[in-house]
Amino acid sequence: MAKIRGMAFLGAARHVKRELGLAGLARVIRDAGPEAQAVFAQPVNGLSLQPYAAFVGLLASVDRHLGRGDLEYCRVIGDLSARHDLSTIFRVYAVRPDPETMIRACTPIWGMYTDGCGVMEAVDVRPECTLLRICEFDEMHPAHCLLMQGWMIAAMDEIGVRVLPGAGERACTSRGAACHEFWCQWEPRPGAPG
């Protein structure tokens, strides 16, 4: 059964609370469905494993309250989560000697957020054709796919590179593909380390 660490729930909740206040967060949780309500019925431990359905419900509710209801706001949640996590709990990954090494670290980072959610691997790390793949996770929801797009692009920015236009999910199990594939091209930012 797919599970997501509590830190992913806490990151989304922190953003909602900042944007909508405590009353707004309560509305988002109420509208996220019974699974998410059960998660938030007690204090959320960032290292705990929570049901995947609760996470999807939370993402969809955040999108309805802060976005347009088309799931695109999930990219914002991903962006903010990457920036927060790479400056705190995953700081050791953000200070890799070069972007390629950081990109290869996707496998352990994915494993720290998830359990039973397949495997992420860096298939290609070249600047002209970076490709990350998540396999064995057919039930990955489109809201989570969009969150991952935002997370990956923000992570690249945090490690000192500029992602070029056209980055995104090239294949998705919800569209009949065997795996999820996230592709981008990038270039070092002037003056950035690495």
The residue among 93 and 18 whose pLDDT is bigger is 18
Question: Do 184 and 153 touch, CB atoms closer than 8 A?
Answer: yes
Nearest of 81, 96, 93 to residue 151 by alpha carbon:
81
Q: Which of 66, 97, 112 is the last residue of a domain?
A: 66
Same domain, 78 and 60: no
22 burial (CB, 10 Å; 0-12 / 13-18 / 19+) is: exposed
Domain identity same for 112 and 169: yes
Quote the domain boundaries for residue 15: 3-66
Residue 182 lies in a domain: yes
Same domain, 108 and 182: yes
Question: At what angle are helices 52-66 and 6-31 packed, to 10 degrees?
Answer: 60
pLDDT band at 193 (very low <50, low <70, confident <90, very high): low
Number of domains in the chain: 2
Same domain, 83 and 58: no
Residue 32 shares a structural domain with residue 102: no
**pLDDT at residue 152 is higher than 90:** yes
Instruction: Give yes or no: residues 48 and 118 share one domain.
Output: no
Q: What is the pLDDT of residue 101?
A: 87
Per DSSP, the three-state class of 126 is coil
Question: Can you count the helices (H) and strands (E) in the chain?
Answer: 8, 9
Same domain for 157 and 180? Answer: yes
Domain boundary, last residue among 22, 47, 66: 66
Segment 62-111, tens digit of pLDDT? 999 999 999 999 999 999 999 988 876 666 655 666 889 888 988 998 99
- For residue 134, is it within any domain? yes
Q: Are residues 81 and 59 in the same domain?
A: no
CATH of the domain at 169: 3.90.1520.10
Q: Do 81 and 162 fall into the same domain?
A: yes
Question: Are the beta carbons of 146 and 78 closer than 8 angstroms?
Answer: yes
Average pLDDT over residues 115-133: 96
Tally of CB atoms within 10 A around 69: 10
Confidence of residue 49 (pLDDT cuts 50, 70, 90): very high
Q: For the residues of 80-100, what is the DSSP string, one character each? A: HHHHHHHHTTTHHHHT-SSHH
Same-domain pairing of 41 and 110: no
* Residues 48 and 128 occupy one common structural domain: no
Q: Are residues 35 and 92 in the same domain?
A: no
Return the SS3 of 60: helix
